[in-house]
Amino acid sequence: MKNPLKYVRKNLLALAPYSTARDEFKGGDISVWLDANESPYDNGLNRYPDPHQHQLKHHIAELKGVRPEQIFIGGAGSDEAIDLVYRVFCRPGEDNVVAIAPSYGVYSVAAAINDVEFREVQLRSDFSLPVNRLLKAADSRTKVIWICSPNNPTANAFPRADIARIAEAFEGIVVVDEAYIDFSDRGSMLDVIDNYPNVIVLQTFSKAWGLASLRLGMAFACEEIAQIFAKVKYPYNVNGPTQKAIIDHIINSDISENVSEIKKQRELLANSLNELPIVKKVFPSDANFLLVKFDSPDSIYDYLVENGVIVRNRSKLISCEGCLRITIGIPEENARVITLLKEYTNKE
């Protein structure tokens, strides 16, 4: 069994985290709060939130089938956890990371911010995972391998066995970003974190849960890594209203119907797109979007924008030449896209 703490920057192992006033509070029937220099005038927002999100972690643990001690909660979606991975494991100017390409752009931006070399390994032509090339790209200073699954923008999820093989062979941290996992039938890697302590799984409430505006993401890891993340993060990184709103949604919302509808609409939209002569290929999707290859992507993108529809132009990315990324909307929105593309076809 790998020791995850050996991958942590040495100066952080002895770090004494900032201690909030509430960290020193051990319980009791308190009715007068004079410990944190807050305003005494109750407006519903005058008190600091729980810096450790105990209640929220309890509900997430039940939802995800993990222990609260294995959870880190980030207040900027998954991006806070992505940045923490660099700050916890990578020495600026010395270490490097390996990532698949094309993939989520924040990995490379965060690497640049933290002065960490970013090594990209292109997916195979069918967007499958090049396990051997990823491992060969790593050296003694490679601290992290990034795998987005289902991947953005290619939309495909990778076999769990391939990811497990990388985790077994790599002497470092493997981060599996599962922002779109609710739309996939491949299955999450959450159930392996007890067996692979060098695996960190990222998830979010922004996609299937429909709470993108709240900006709350999660990292699931062995307890030792989760504790390090808790030490390094800033004290009140998730505000009180967000914590409450997420708890309310976990208790009162069932996302299964919306997820099923999006998957149904994904298939219908893909079928409709495949019937259009301007479409060269619709790639298989495990996410809530489709990657679609067109003959004239820039012209089509402009036509959609002119008619009030915005999609994502990915045609400049290596391996995504000619491609637009189309998020699955409600039926009326998807129908609008097809109508406009038919109009564009008739114009040609």
| Domains, the chain, with CATH or none | 4-17+51-252 (3.40.640.10), 256-347 (3.90.1150.10)
Q: Which pLDDT score, from 0 to 100, does residue 88 have? A: 98
| Chain centre distance of CA 252 | 23
Check pLDDT > 90 for residue 23.
Answer: no
pLDDT at residue 19, rounded to an integer: 86
Which of these, 253, 261, 173, 183, lies nearest to 214 by C-alpha position? 253
Q: 98 with 122: CB under 8 angstroms?
A: no
d(CA 189, CA 201): 7
Q: What is the pLDDT of residues 220-245, one digit of tens each?
A: 999 999 999 999 999 999 999 999 99
Residue 28 has pLDDT above 80, yes or no: no
pTM score, two decimals? 0.95
Query: pLDDT, tens digit, for every residue of 139-192?
Result: 999 999 999 999 999 999 999 999 999 999 999 999 999 999 999 999 999 999
For the record, the structure tokens of 297 come out as 């992507």
pLDDT at residue number 348: 67
Residue 127: per-residue pLDDT: 98
Task: Report the chain's mean pLDDT, rounded to a whole number.
Answer: 96
Phi, psi of 180 (to 5 degrees): -110, 15
Q: What is the pLDDT of residues 45-102, one digit of tens each?
A: 999 999 999 999 999 999 999 999 999 999 888 999 999 999 999 999 999 999 999 9
pLDDT (0 to 100) of residue 24: 76
The encoded tokens of residue 144 equal: 């992290």
182, 285 in Cβ contact below 8 A?
no
Q: Which residues contact 274 (CB under 8 A, 6 or more apart)?
A: 282
Cis? peptide before 150, omega within 30° of 0? yes
The number of beta carbons lying within 10 Å of the beta carbon of residue 19 is 10
